[in-house]
Amino acid sequence: MKKDLDFVREILIKGEEISGEGAKPASQLEFSTDSEDKLGYHLYLLKDAGFINAGVRSNAKGTYKPVNIVSLTNEGHKFLDNIRNDTVWAKVKSKAKDKMSSVSLKVLASLAEDLIKNSI
C-alpha cells in the first residue's frame, strides 16, 4: 500500500481533536476512508515515526489493524502545526512531489519546518 499523505494529515488533525480524552477506538472515529487496512497501515506509519500514540495490530498477512488512537506526541503536534495551513501543505507536497512515495514522514516534517522557518 502506498502512503497517502493527505490521509496522514487527516489522521493527525483527528488525533489532535481527541488528544487528552484517553484512547478512542479507531472504529468510532470518522475518516475519509472506510478501509480498515488503509487506516491501520497509516496509523502504523505515524506511530513508527513517533508522531502518534496509537494501538495497531499486525497479522501474519502483513496487514495492520487499527485498535485505537490515544494522542499526538510532541513531534506529532509540531508536524501538524507546520502543515496545518493549506498553502504550506500544498508547498510541502509540491516540493516532495517527484519523490512522494519514497519521502519518509520525518523528512516531510523537516521540509515543512524548513518552509515555515524560511517564511518567517
Boundaries of every domain in the chain: 5-119
Q: Write the pLDDT tens digit of every residue in 7-62.
A: 999 999 999 998 888 888 888 889 998 899 999 999 999 999 999 999 999 888 88
pLDDT of residue 64: 92
- Sheet with 24-25, strands from edge to edge, namely 24-25, 64-72, 52-58
Beta-carbon contacts of 12 under 8 Å, excluding residues fewer than 6 positions away, are 46, 51, 52, 72, 76, 79, 80, 83
Residue 100 confidence (pLDDT): 59
User: Residue 93's pLDDT is what?
Assistant: 87
Please state which CATH class domain 5-119 belongs to. Answer: mainly alpha
H helix or E strand, kind and range, residue 76? helix 74-83
Q: How many alpha carbons fall within 13 Å on the CB side of residue 110?
A: 6
61-117 confidence digits (pLDDT tens): 888 998 999 999 999 999 999 999 999 999 998 888 766 556 789 989 999 999 999
Model pTM score? 0.90
Instruction: Give pLDDT, residue 98.
Output: 65
What pLDDT shows up at residue 16?
93
Q: What is the pLDDT of residue 99?
A: 61
